[in-house]
Amino acid sequence: MQKISVLFILSCTLLFFGGCKKEKTPKLIFKFKFDPTLQRLNNFGQPAAMPAGHAGQNPSFNHMSAHYVELATGPLTPLGAGTVLYHAAETNAGGATAIDFSKAVLAGNNEKFFEVPLSEVTPGDYEYLRVSLAYQNFDVQLFIDTTVGGFTIQQEYPGTVASFVGYNTYINNFTIKNKSFTVNDDKLQGFWGYEMSANFFGFPYEFSATGQAPPGATTVPNPIAATSPIPAGSCVVTGPFGGSKLKITGNETEDIVVVVALSTNKSFEWVEVVNDGKWEPTKGETIVDMGLRGLWPYVE
């Protein structure tokens, strides 16, 4: 009798814990990868050389945010007619519809920036990924050529750039390392801020500035621009899935991780005043382009 009771209790215990086992919900996960070795493309997805009188650097990315994610089945799929997975918060606080920077989701290299249950993704074979980029934060080198306390300084120093590449962004304030900037307004694509601090022979030196790149100067690669264009001033970068299409069946049991590989190949670009390939904002060298130079998504 005692043996039967023990077996009964054991069976009930196993049934209880087995019934509480939570099934995994497979997800479609997106993460950034910033790669300076990828090809440098223009707005039409063609190889692009550096324009005459300009120079560029491969920035080192700290983090980025996206505004929109869409899967397209082919080159004829109009923008918005594919499977739209994500659309970030917007606001009219500045008078026009704009991306709400205060709600931006930031992610760094090899970090997840968005996920969705695969059960919520329309099954299909997807050839292209569209990602609208909104905010970038990266490190670059600034060349200082000046005299401080009687000492001549001619050296490169690291600094950090914050750039807003979305179509329009409402910004309360933003911080670059130790420097805070108050805006409380809408800013069109190409708005940027920069901060650098150093110590020269015991003398502290800080340089910070904000500016606006010219309209249309931000590169937004789209290799299917002829059949599926994007609005002027937007930052919907488009790229084909490498190797094969992204196949969603609706019967997945495991996560699918999509690596959003973005080209940072001289994606930070300025107009040269001193023709030496070094960025010298104190000499009047202005930033003109901070657009990523190509998108090559692939399944990890």
Mind listing the pLDDT tens digit for each residue in 228-264? 999 999 999 999 998 799 999 999 999 999 999 999 9
Residue 18 pLDDT greater than 60, yes or no: no
Residue 200 pLDDT greater than 80, yes or no: no
Residue 10 pLDDT greater than 70, yes or no: no
pLDDT at residue number 15: 47
Integer Cα distance of 268 and 284 in angstroms: 16
| Residue of 270, 288, 267 lying closest to 133 (CA atoms) | 267
Residue 115 pLDDT greater than 90, yes or no: yes
Integer Cα distance of 168 and 186 in angstroms: 6
Integer Cα distance of 282 and 23 in angstroms: 59
pLDDT at residue number 99: 97
Length of the chain: 300
Instruction: Provide, rounded to the nearest whole percent, the portion of the chain with pLDDT above 70.
Output: 92
Check: CB of residue 175 under 8 Å from CB of residue 99.
Answer: no
Integer Cα distance of 131 and 203 in angstroms: 44
pLDDT at residue number 53: 97
Residue 66 pLDDT greater than 80, yes or no: yes
pLDDT at residue number 22: 60
The rounded mean pLDDT for the chain is: 91
Residue 244 phi, psi (nearest 5): -155, 170
Beta strand 124-126 pairing with 128-148: unpaired
Q: Looking at per-residue confidence, does 75 or 10 come out higher?
A: 75
Strand locations in the chain (E): 27-35, 54-57, 60-72, 83-87, 90-91, 98-100, 112-117, 124-126, 128-148, 151-164, 168-176, 179-188, 191-200, 203-212, 236-240, 246-248, 256-263, 268-271, 287-289, 295-299
- pLDDT, tens digit, for every residue of 93-105? 999 999 999 999 9
